[in-house]
Amino acid sequence: MELLVASAIGVLTAGGVYLILRLRAFPVILGLSLLSYAVNIFLVSTGRLAINAPPILNKYADVPYTDPLPQALVLTAIVISFGMTAVLVMFALGAYLEAGDDSIDMKDAEEKDDAA
């Protein structure tokens, strides 16, 4: 099971890095989403899932418990990544509607700065 989770994290990270290195706005946004999914899976995997165990340590009973911190971190990360993705999609859509293309071309930006 650990091999499957590690492979999923590796594939998501590799796909995310590949998409971030593309020179288009929407693949970059998809790459950031894939990287956030990879981080979320990594955080969940650090929690060591315990079946039928409470998320609270009971000092009177010697039962295993599930660590609630990774679950809380992942829930927070999901909400933040959803908001970040929505804002980035709006930025990319605005840039596409203004320029007519979603290409990220640093060469044109440098020429505009030199001309100014």
pLDDT tens for each residue of 41-86 = 998 888 776 777 777 777 777 777 777 888 888 999 999 999 999 9
Instruction: Give CA–CA dist 9/43, Å, rounded.
Output: 11
Write down the mean pLDDT value for the chain: 85
The 10 Å Cβ neighbour count of residue 64 is 11
Instruction: Give CA–CA dist 84/67, Å, rounded.
Output: 27
The tally of CA atoms less than 13 A away on the side-chain side of residue 16 is 14
Contact (CB, 8 A) for 50 and 35: no
| pLDDT > 60? residue 109 | no
Average pLDDT over residues 96-111: 76
Total count of domains within the chain: 1
pLDDT of residue 36: 94
Place of tokens 């499957």: 4
DSSP string, 52-71: T--SS--SSS------SHHH
Q: Which amino acid is at 53?
A: A
Instruction: Give CA–CA dist 35/108, Å, rounded.
Output: 28
Place of tokens 């609630």: 68
Q: Which domain holds residue 88?
A: 2-115
Contact (CB, 8 A) for 30 and 81: no
This prediction has a pTM of 0.76
